[in-house]
Amino acid sequence: MTPANQPPRKGGGGRGGKGGTGGKATKKGRRKDPLWARLLVIGGAALMMTSGIAIVGSKAVISQATSSIEQENLLGDAGKTDAEGGKDLKGPIDLLLLGVDVRGSWEHNDTRADTIIILHIPATHDQAYLVSIPRDTEVTIPAFTKSKFRGGREKINSAFYWGAQNGAGWAGGAQLMAQTIKKLTGISFDGAAIIDFNGFKSVIDALGTVRICVDQKVESHHMMMVNGKPMWNADAKKVGNGRWPAVVHKPGCKEMEGWEALDYSRQRYGLKNGDYDRQQHQQQLIKAMAAKAMEGGVMTNPLKLNTLMKAAGKAFTLDTGGVPIADFVFTMRNVTANELVLLRTNDGTFAGNGEGAEALKPISKQMFAAVKADTLAEFVAANPSVLSKKPSA
């Protein structure tokens, strides 16, 4: 699945190779795809676009609270045209949420967006739907002049990487991803957000804890318990000569601190349905954080709101299509955390295409068509199998 007219890449499809027609070579070889990515959309975009609607106060107060959030053009040609509503928020609203992860010595643009979520709010503005796009979906990524990418067939999570090359940066990555999704589904967007793990933990810390229901036992592949304290595997191996046990997430509902909620939602290996279960867990975390923000009075307390938004400002970049953030907040004021509807693609199981990638099943294609036509409520009622399963209490 090498892009047309481009040489094969080293390091697993662009992670360590030259990439495209001039991507910078990295010092390291193959790396694992960024696993934090799906979590990264949770703190900033979802809270501001769902829980944020409960804010009591003037638009001036909201504008001040959100002033630290960086804004860039993340949509490019994938933004809604005037014929589709443009900057008019009276109709349905579609937001693209992307998560990226850069750690340590990794090059800033040597990453993919493994978190790909469409947040759909119907024209009634009284409900919100979260739909994840599987990261391994094989798609046609269009040519992108800004990054000198000539197009090709790839897994969808690589669209961000190719768009970010040759100085185009994360904004370029988001634009190419948005254009790829528009080509795949026909959906145009009112806004987008990129969430970066480096500043993400502070968002959860601002909320305190979140209530998460674990539906199946899973051992962490990333953290160990060292003398009763959680620690990254690499750091744990440096402590003493003991063999420390992995962090274990056991079935049941509990209040989780940020590190625990993030680690649980990050797990993919050892789950019955792999990445699809992880998608569901991350959607649940979005909902849990939105609920905590509302129940804890964060969104009705100017001081708490400022603290949360300052944390969010360090974690993500936003594009509201030129519409003031405060207008978005007030437009969606009738949406509550309890009305977030979590949807799954491909019946929640891997739909292989025989080449290590996935293809969207007919029912998933119909679901995205319903998003575009703003008939998602009717589609879900007729096809309840697309609803994510609720975790056991």
Contacts of residue 106, defined as CB under 8 A and 6 or more positions apart, other chains included, come to 26, 28, 31
What letter represents residue 114's amino acid? D
Structural domains in the chain, CATH included, are 14-207+301-373 (3.30.420.590)
Torsion sign (Cα): 333, 335, 338, 342: negative
pLDDT confidence of 61, banded at 50, 70, 90?
Answer: low
What pairing do the DSSP bridges indicate for beta strands 252-256 and 210-214? antiparallel
Look at 223-227, 304-308, 358-362 and tell me which has the smallest mean pLDDT. Answer: 304-308
pLDDT (tens digit, 9 = 90+) per residue, 23-35? 333 333 333 322 2
- pLDDT recorded at residue 284: 81
Q: How far apart are CA 341 and CA 386, in angstroms?
A: 10
**What mean pLDDT is predicted for residues 18-23?**
35
pLDDT (tens digit, 9 = 90+) per residue, 330-379? 777 677 655 678 898 988 888 887 778 899 999 999 999 999 999 999 99
Question: How many CA within 13 A on the CB side of residue 167?
Answer: 3
How many beta carbons lie within 10 A of that of residue 48, not counting itself? 28
pLDDT (tens digit, 9 = 90+) per residue, 271-297? 888 877 877 887 788 778 777 877 766
Task: Say if residue 107's pLDDT is above 80.
Answer: no
- pLDDT recorded at residue 349: 81
CA distances from 245 to 233, 241, 256, 264, 265 (A): 10, 13, 19, 16, 19
Q: How far apart are CA 294 and CA 116, in angstroms?
A: 25
Q: How far apart are CA 372 and CA 389, in angstroms?
A: 24
Q: Looking at per-residue confidence, does 241 or 337 come out higher? A: 241
- pLDDT recorded at residue 255: 92
Q: How far apart are CA 220 and CA 319, in angstroms?
A: 34
Q: In the structure encoding, which two tokens stand for residue 56, read together?
A: 């009591």
Whole-model pTM: value is 0.74
Mean pLDDT for all residues in the chain: 77
Which of 5-19, 85-99, 187-201, 214-228 is most confident?
214-228
**What mean pLDDT is predicted for residues 178-196?**
92
Closest CA to 47 of 319, 258, 298: 298
Closest CA to 26 of 6, 13, 11, 8: 11
- Hunting for tokens 């491909």 — which residue is that? 346
Cβ atoms of residues 161 and 14 within 8 Å: yes
Cβ atoms of residues 250 and 217 within 8 Å: yes
